[in-house]
Structure 1
Amino acid sequence: MSLLSSVGLTLVLLTSPVQTDTPSFAECEAAAPRVDLLPETTGAPSLACVSGGLVTVFSFSTNIARDLVALQGRERFESFEIAGRMIVLKPKRNLMPGERFLMTVPFLDGGAPASATFLLIAHPALATRQIDVFRHARPVEAYQQEAREVRAENAQLRSRVKQLESQALTKGGLAGLLANGILGEDGVKAERLRHLKGTHGNALEVHQCLSLRAVDSNRVALSLSLSQPQPREWSIKEIFLADGHGGVFKPMTWLGEGPLPPGNVPQSVILEWQLKGSEVARSFTLVVVGNDGRTVRVGRIVFPQ
């Protein structure tokens, strides 16, 4: 495709309507931090998640035609800078989850492929912080490194499957906690968190919140009683913790995933995470994302020390 044809395609793409489906935690985690553009690369855009107030950097292995770079919805970004082979963008903090923007980056030398296209999708808290874009074929060493990474990932997955199988075969109660190394000599600490409320108006009410921590294993959990005042039920698409250090933590266990009933009827939700020692002492925000794209943030979440 010629450079002019690529630019023409860009103009057509940038007129497409913005979609509002919020990407899931898994989709953003799966967004590749490395994009390899081969001569036979198709026109399908590469996915990158962006989040309000967080910087995303695109680094290219070849020179780009900076004057022809096109970004849909430029006004929704606090900054958008091109320096050499790098593009640095930072969306505004009021970015709505699910907003989508196409960014097309043409290359200078006229070779194939003539440009790279990216689909930027807004997530409430998770951003693809850096995307390295490599054009043309990679050396053999890169394929070998990728094969090593895949083997290491498969080994981790096999280990995780064995762990889950062991947990499934272990009965509950204290025996289950001891068998899985969760309950140790120092026991479990609990603390009731009071006066918690969602920051999205009165969209979510927290009636009770019990915060727990298994001291020896740094497993933490929340037992919540939630309700919402809307006249229709509200389905939760995902729920996770976010801290002030850029950390985002998806629960390893989520009980009570059904929709919240209408009319402020309380429903129990239990969540569990595995944290590191330095992370347990932090203050968190519980981020609740609905299937309708509405996001509620509940601050001042702490675990017993």
Structure 2
Amino acid sequence: MFLSLARLALPLVLLVGLTAAAQPQDALRGRELKRRRVAFSASTAGNPVALHVAPGYLTALEFDSPVDRDAVVLGDPGGRLALFEVTSRAILLKPAMELGPGRGVELTIPFADGAAPARVVLSLVTHPSEVDAQVMVSRLPRTAEAIQAELDEVRATCAAKDAELEALRARNVASGPAGMILAGLLNDRGFKAGSPERLLSQGGGDLVSRDVVTYRSSGWGAVSLWVRNIGSHPWTPVEARLTVAANGERINVLAVRMKEPRIEPGGTALVVVETGAPNWPEGAALRLELRDNDGGRRLLIPRLPF
């Protein structure tokens, strides 16, 4: 796995030998050079692993996958390292001073391959009797439990999307009263329609709403409104956000529709917002926001009784 470690071994020994010769004997006495393997999993990657370093000693880190060298973060504001070199597969470092309690340096290493964990964290500290001269860093593959949990989450998301798609298909098939009855969208309880009065709309000065009508049945809800574009550019509502004004709870919007592809400057069009089965109290004040593709122009009705 670590093929380049052998190539690092000879210069490492030479460098350590040279630095050791230049140090006073009392500073080197008792420190043992260690070789370590450090393995990270997705659950442990956020916990810093202590790495023993010392001034005058070179420490070489080698990785089993490519490092995003431009994104490596060294928490060293005070120049506590005399040497720090990063390549795509290795990091060479040497402290300039003892990194005792309170003087450790945190090293965050992100990887370039997109696999988990995306980054690992090491804490550079001084040990009185040993130095990690060669450290081989690897990432453990995800456990079967982690993969199963992720798969269950994806399945749940797909099931929710399938339910939304089925509801949209039913509404697409429904054509006229007969189609609505067959699709289960119209039953013996019928639906209620209302025309709220004195609605305040906010459209940045160039979008105005009028003739707002709400429709409510046991299985669906809808809001229709005429929108006039008094701005200088065409406008197309592609997204509707509907929330309960009192608590901000989101309401599931199924579709935003109008006959025209866009509302031209000076033009007016009927816009219909369709929801799923109403799960809010009848008559509650809702907040309706219509947005274009980039959200730059919007029409807002802060309080819509529905």
- Equivalent residues, number: 188
Structure 2: 5+ residue runs without aligned partners? 1-44, 47-64, 78-104, 112-117, 121-138
Corresponding residue SS for 1:230: coil
**How far apart, CA to CA, are the structure 1 residues paired with 2:293 and 2:213?**
26
SS in 2 for 1:301: strand
Deviation by residue 1:199-236 (Cα, 9 ceiling, x = unmatched):
2453221121111101x22x111111110211332233
**Preserved CA contact (<8 Å) 1:234 1:259:** yes
Distance (whole Å) between structure 1 residues aligned to residue 287 and residue 160 of structure 2: 29
Alignment of 1:93-108 (within 5 A): none
Matches within 5 A, 1:35-74: none
User: Which position in structure 2 is the counterpart of 1:182?
Assistant: 185
Alpha carbons 1:241, 1:248 under 8 Å: kept: yes
| Equivalent residue, structure 2, for 1:289 | 291
Candidates 100, 106, 110, aligned match of 1:109: 106
SS in structure 1 opposite 2:301? strand
For the 8 Å contact 1:225–1:268, the answer to whether it is kept is yes
RMSD: 3.8
Mapped partners of 2:284, 2:233: distance in 1: 35
Amino acid at match of 2:274: E
Residue type of the partner of 1:153? T
Q: SS at 2:253's partner residue?
A: coil
Percent same amino acid at aligned positions?
Answer: 23
Q: Per the alignment, do residues 271 and 300 of structure 1 end up closer, same or farther by CA in structure 2, a change over 3 Å counting?
A: same
Q: How does 1:181-260 map to 2 (within 5 A)?
A: 181-214=184-217, 216-217=218-219, 219-244=220-245, 245-249=247-251, 251-256=253-258, 258-260=261-263
- Say whether the 8 Å CA contact 1:249–1:273 is kept in structure 2: yes
* Amino acid corresponding to residue 230 of structure 1 in structure 2: G
Whether the 8 Å CA contact 2:207–2:229 is kept in 1: the answer is yes
The structural deviation recorded for 1:182 is 1.9
Deviation at 1:298, TM superposition (A): 1.2
1:142 corresponds to which of 133, 141, 146: 146
Distance in 1, Cα, partners of 2:193 & 2:70: 50
Q: How has the CA–CA distance of structure 1 residues 42 and 145 changed in structure 2, closer, same or farther, with 3 Å as cutoff?
A: farther
Task: Name the residue aligned to 1:152.
Answer: 156
Distance verdict in 2 for CA 1:185–1:227, change over 3 Å: same
Task: Pick closer, same or farther for the CA change 1:142–1:181 going to 2, 3 Å.
Answer: same
Report the CA distance between 1:171 and its aligned residue: 4.6
SS at the partner of 1:240?
Answer: strand
How far does residue 164 in structure 1 lie from its aligned partner after superposition? 4.3
Listed as ranges, the gaps of 5+ residues in structure 1 are 1-35, 46-63, 68-107, 115-132
CA separation of 1:284/1:278 partners in 2, compared to 1, >3 Å: closer, same or farther?
closer
Contact 1:207–1:266 (8 Å) recurs in 2: no
- CA distance in 2: counterparts of 1:301 and 1:156, whole angstroms: 28
Which entry has the higher C-alpha Rg, 1 or 2?
2
Amino acid at match of 2:236: S
Partner of 1:91: none
